[in-house]
Chains A and B, each alone.
Chain A
Amino acid sequence: MLALLAQTQVQIPEIVWSVLWPIVLLSIGGVLLITATSISPRLRVGSFPAAMTIVLAGASLVTLPLIWSKVRDGGGQLPVIADAIRIDAFTLLVTGIMCASLIVVSLLLDDYLRTEGLDGPEWYVLLLMSATGGILMAAANDLIVTFLGLEILSIAVYVLAALHLRRTKSQEAGFKYFILGALSSAIFLYGIAMIYGATGSLRLTDIAQFIASGNSAGLSPLTESSLLLAGMAMLLIGFGFKISAAPFHLWTPDVYEGAPTPVVAFMASAVKAAGMAGLLRVFIVAFGVVAEDWRPVVGAMAILSVVIGAASALGQDNVKRMLAYSSIVHAGFMLVGLYAAASGAAQTGTRSVVFYLFAYAVMSLGTFAAFTLIGGRGDQNHSLSAYVGLSRSNPMVASLLAVLLLAQAGMPFTIGFWAKARVIIAAANGENYVVAAVAMVAAVVAAFVYLRLIVTMFMISEPDEAGEAEASGAQLRISRSGLFALGIAAAATMIWGLFPGFGGDWFGEATRALLELR
């Protein structure tokens, strides 16, 4: 036995650390943060954990252009760690979303935790870990790495959801999220096993090659390999759970309602973006050749998500539940884009999803930032009635929130319009007229939900109610860091709404990385 071990030399693949800076910074930084705060308890309280998280995320953001110049010189993408990870424009874009989300959420958490008397570094450590997982998921060229990313991402968020120790709703949310999430992870893992059984590989690029060669040999995977089909279905379930697409959405409203609001901001932006990024990477790169096979399922999920999300959002009186359902509608819209990509509009479709996940991250971060501010002490004020007369008591917060809500409704000159327009143009390109029409009608229904909130803030001024609201509005303490976070999100919403090409052609490069460089 020993002799055998001695003979087989373990091959350690070469690792290009210089392009892995964001992953290194965030994960090692997280470990350092918890170590430092355990050694010196004085660092536990105060703004040190938040500041360090922001510095780490900011530093990662700064490395992105440097890495990009390396990647560009390397022909568009760099295979790292024996090609298990691909560093390309798409990975970098998702990394950027993760870091931006970390910064905004840290700004929110700092004041939130102090108000709630819950401060401690563990929140930030979990956020850093989760973001690392998200980046891995987007970068993975290997299903095992995708799974690792998914788990790192999720487990941290399960804990975060339950971390508001005094609120039973928060614990309940964490538990619910954990049970269902664990189930979906199990299904996901089973799917990976099946794919391995069907294709003999876990590398996305190898899977694609295997399927393509099977196709060219005249074998249709659809008929030849039910194993592959079952595997794809299971992966889709796993991803569908993470992006909260119907019919795997049932956890969303409860968890969004119960979890601490800054954590919801992270879940809606980073977790959903990472889930969608993983879904895009796996299904475009590995299964792009057999798009015909998974296309109908994605189409059905898209229609179900927009319809169920929009219809259920109508009856809600809790804004967090409302926006939870709206996030299901947005997931549906992304799937409409993916459906278009599978229907012959590969370029425009993929690009629309890439843009949409960025746009939704921006909008949801801002919206939940506003909810955090308005939620007040105890994270309680989330019923619609708490928003009565907000335009008078807190005009700044109300106006910025209105901008973000109008953006979510897809109103012109906001980032939300371009996201929606791109998806619909892609759908027209893929000739998915019915799906596009259903999605647009659902968008109108969803718009009603956002309007309802805006009406409550701006237009309801019954004397007694308004007086009451002004009284409660006076108690509302708006933290400067929170307002700053909200301002960043609203500004980004407007900047990319007015100049859709702002900051260069990242989205085009990211799309190219998925479609052309394999």
Chain B
Amino acid sequence: MLEAINLKKTFGDYDALKGLDLKVNPGDIYCLLGANGAGKTTTINLFLNFIHPTAGKAEVCGIDVTEQPLETKKLLAYIPEQVMLYGNLTALENLRYFAQLGGHDYTETEYKSFLDRCGLQSGAYIQRVHQFSKGMRQKVGVAIALAKQAKALLLDEPTSGLDPKASNEFSALLIQLKGDDASILMATHDLFRAKETGTRIGIMREGRMMQELGTDDVSHADIERIYLEHMHGDSSKYAA
């Protein structure tokens, strides 16, 4: 489970996050929507303890990330907008390395099964990843998350720049992970993907959570309308 409790973050004079409360339960895919600068990536960075909160706290499975950063990182997997891998290593070598960093080690067959599960073609396992497309890298990123057996996933615009087919495949993978009872927090600009993949949606603006929605309760059109209204400042009707 992921939980943000009155989480605040200030960069100099700029308030990036102004008291965020958020809870992502096991089996949830929580999609954070918002314009650039809304605080989505800051939230993810706070869960990863890459940055430290000004106030409030972020918890992973009930553990404060600031107090026990290594423990919480062991429970997390992180997939950024562009999964950065070591170009001179093959997909298998990258997977093995990151799995070992996460404290896991598997047989060659098991590593291959992770890559297979993510839809990477078997011929690519032993190819150096500098030749990989973004979609292929994202698949390796998901394989790393699978190998890490993470309880929670943090995804920062993972489908940005992917073609529709690759995007669909990625969404299918996320739904698989949800089935493993992982808590998934995904920052995205993709309203369509949020509705299709997510179980809940949070709309952020200027460091605040403006509104939370259940994806089953709203249509694509509703999401778009509500989102645009928040972005254009007419948020009084929906203030959380």
Whether chain B is bound by chain A comes out as no
